[in-house]
Amino acid sequence: MITVESLTRRYAGFTAVDNVSFTARAGRVTGFLGPNGAGKSTTMRVMVGLTVPTSGSATINGERFADLPNPGLEVGVLLDASAQHAGRTGREILTIASDTMGLPRTRVDVMIELVSLTPTEAKRRVRNYSLGMRQRLGIATALLGDPQVLILDEPANGLDPAGIRWMRDLLTGFASQGGTVLLSSHLLHEIEVIADDLVVIGNGKIVAAGTKEELLAAAGTLARSTSPRDLAHALEQAGIPSTLAGDGSVRTDADPGRVGAVALTAGIALTELRSAEGAGLEDMFLSLTADTQREGVAA
Amino acid sequence: MTATIVPPATTTQTARVRRTARPIPTTRLVKVELRKMFTTRSGFWMLVSIGVLSVIATGAVIIFAPDSDVTYENFFAAIGLPMSVILPMIAILAVTNEWSQRSGLTTFTLVPSRGRVIGAKAIATVLVGLGSTVLGFTVGALGNLAGSALAGVDTVWDVSLVHASQLLLGNLVGMAIGFTLGVVLRNSAGAIVGYFVVSLVLPGILELLALVREWFLDLQPWIDWNYTQVELFEGATNTAEEWAMLASTTMIWVVVPLVVGLLFLRRSEVK
C-alpha cells in the first residue's frame, strides 16, 4: 500500500505538487492521470525519495521509502526508462541492480527472459536500445527484487501492441496476487483497461480520486428526444443544468432517473436515456482537467 | 480485478509475503561501485589505458633513454605521469555518471542513503588508486629489469620506499580532487574541464600572483595544491612544515568543498 499525505513540493516560484493525498491499495492497480506537468512525476519521485517534499509525506506499507533497509526487495520502481548509463549493456545494468539487492545472478537471466529481451539484445549497450527495449529493461529492473509494490511512470511508452498487452497482463496478475501497483500513463485507453482505481491530478492538485466505476459513473446522463429544445428547457425549469449538443442529444450531470421523471412531468417523449458512460475515461479526464489543460479544450 | 485473470508467467507466483529485509552491507556497496567504474565503455577504456600507457611509458624509457638513465626512478616517473592524469578522470566519472548518465535514478532508489553510496564510491576510488599505482610500480620494475638487461648495465633500484609511498599518496590526492569536483559539480564534462582548470590554469595564475605580489610568495605553497602535489610526486615532502602545507591545500581543495558538496548532494533532486 502506498499512502500519500498532504504532499506539497514547491520550487522557486511555483508549486508542482499542492497538498496531494491519496492511497494506492494493495491488490489493486491504481492509475495516476494528469496532463503534462501536472505533478505526476514529481509525486512519484517524492515517493521513492529522489525529491525531498516541501511538506507532507509519502509512505510505502507505512514506512518512508528512505527507511526501507533494502528498498529494491519491497518496491519496484521505473521512473524513466532512458535514465540508464548508455555505455552499459542491458545485462550489466540488471547485474548491478541484482548485486546491490544481494540477489543471486540467476535472477538476471530470469528477468531478461520475462521481459522478452533476447540474450543478444541483453549484451548490447543501452545506447543502441529502442525506447521499447529500454522500457522492458526498466520493467525488468523494477521486478528484479520480487517486490510487493510497483511504482511505474509511463511504463507503456514505446512498447509495441504485444508489449502493451503483455504489460497489462503482468500488472493485473501482479495486483491479483496482492501486490500494489501505481501506474501513470497518458494512454487513457490503457489505464481504462488496467486500472481499478483512479487518481486524477491537475496543476498539482487532486481533481478526482476513486474507483474507476465511481468516476466513470459520475459522467452524467445523455438523453434524446424528438424535441431536444423542450427537454433542455424542462430540465432547466426543474433546476437541472444541461447542455444541448449539436447532434440533438441533451447532456446533464443529473442521474438518468431524474431526467426521466422531468421528461414525464413535462410530457416529453424520450427516444434515448442512458448514463453517459460511453463517454469514457477520455471525456472524464478532459472535463476534470479542463482548467489545467494547455490547449484549453472543453469537454 | 476478477478471478478469471490468468497471472502472467512470472516467478512471483507465490502470495506476496512481507519479508524482513536486511540492510545492504557497505562491503556489497563497495563491490558494486567498483564494478560500476569499469563496466561502462569509458570506464573500461580508462582502466585499459592505465595498463597500456604504463607499458608504453616503460617501452619509451627502454628505447629512448641513454643507458645511464635506465634506472628505476626514470621508469617510475615515466609511468607516474600519465597515471596522475587518468586516475582523477576515473574518480570524476565514478561520481558524475550518476547524474550525467542519469543512472542515479536507479542507484539512489535502490540505496536511498546517498551518503552511503558516495562513501562506497570513495572507498572504491581509493582501491582503484592503490591497485593502479601498484600495477605501475610492477610494470616499472619489470621494465627496469628488462631495460638494464638489454642495455647491459647494472639494474639500479634508486627509488626509496618513502618516495614510492609519497607517489601513491599523490595519486590518491589527485583522485580526491577529481572526486570532489565530481561531488560539487555533478556533471561529467563540467568536472573534467574543472579538473584541468584547477590543475593547469590555476597554478599559472598563482605563480603569477606570487611573482607580482611578494606577500603571496610565502603563502603560495599553503594554497596551491599543485605545488604540494609536485612535492609528493618527487618524494620531497619531508619536513613537518611541508606536511602541514599538504594538509592545508588538501583542506582547501578537498575537505571543505567535499563537505559542502555532500550537503547539497544529499538534498538535491535526482532527475
Per-residue model confidence (pLDDT) at position A299 = 41
Structural domain contains residue B12: no
The candidate with the shortest Cα–Cα distance to A81, out of A146, A142, A18, A17, is A142
Higher pLDDT, B262 or A258: B262
pLDDT exceeds 80 at position A295: no
User: B4-28 pLDDT, tens per residue?
Assistant: 444 444 444 444 555 567 899 999 9
User: Are the beta carbons of A79 and B109 separated by less than 8 Å?
Assistant: yes
> What's the whole-number mean pLDDT along residues A170-189?
92
Percent of chain A with pLDDT over 90: 63
Dihedral of the CA atoms A55, A60, A65, A69 (nearest 10)?
Answer: 150
Average pLDDT, chain A: 90
Per-residue model confidence (pLDDT) at position B5 = 43
> Distance, in angstroms, between A211 CA and closest chain B CA?
12
pLDDT exceeds 90 at position A132: yes
The ipTM estimated for the assembled molecules is 0.87
Residue B61 belongs to domain spanning:
26-266
Q: Which helix (H) or strand (E) holds A18?
A: strand A14-24
Residue A94 in 3-state DSSP?
Answer: helix
> What's the whole-number mean pLDDT along residues B164-177?
96
Percent of chain B with pLDDT over 90: 79
Per-residue model confidence (pLDDT) at position A279 = 57
**Contact predicate A251/A221, CB 8 Å:** yes
| Distance, CA of A172 to CA of B5 (rounded, Å) | 8
Cβ contacts (< 8 Å) between A95 and chain B: which residues?
A: 35
**Contact predicate B80/B167, CB 8 Å:** yes
Structural domain contains residue B182: yes
Per-residue model confidence (pLDDT) at position B3 = 44
Neighbours of B212 (CB within 10 A): 8
Judge whether A193 is closer than 8 Å to chain B, CB to CB.
no
Higher pLDDT, A83 or A189: A83
> Distance, in angstroms, between A142 CA and closest chain B CA?
9
pLDDT exceeds 70 at position A256: yes
Determine how β-strand A205-211 pairs with β-strand A55-60.
unpaired
**Contact predicate A299/A286, CB 8 Å:** yes
pLDDT exceeds 80 at position A262: yes
CA distances from A263 to A157, A226, A276 (A): 46, 12, 17
* The model's pTM: 0.86
> What's the whole-number mean pLDDT along residues A31-55?
93
pLDDT exceeds 70 at position A94: yes
User: B208-262 pLDDT, tens per residue?
Assistant: 998 998 889 889 999 999 999 999 999 999 999 999 999 999 999 999 999 999 9
Structural domain contains residue B116: yes
Per-residue model confidence (pLDDT) at position B1 = 40
Please tell me the least confidently modeled range out of A203-212, A246-255, B180-189.
Answer: A246-255
The total number of structural domains in chain B stands at 1
Per-residue model confidence (pLDDT) at position B18 = 55
Q: In B152-239, where does DSSP find H-type helix?
A: 161-185, 188-196, 202-212, 214-223, 225-233
- Residue of chain A nearest B35, judged by CA positions: A96
Domains of chain A: 2-211 (3.40.50.300), 218-287 (3.30.70)
> Distance, in angstroms, between A246 CA and closest chain B CA?
38
Percent of chain B with pLDDT over 70: 93
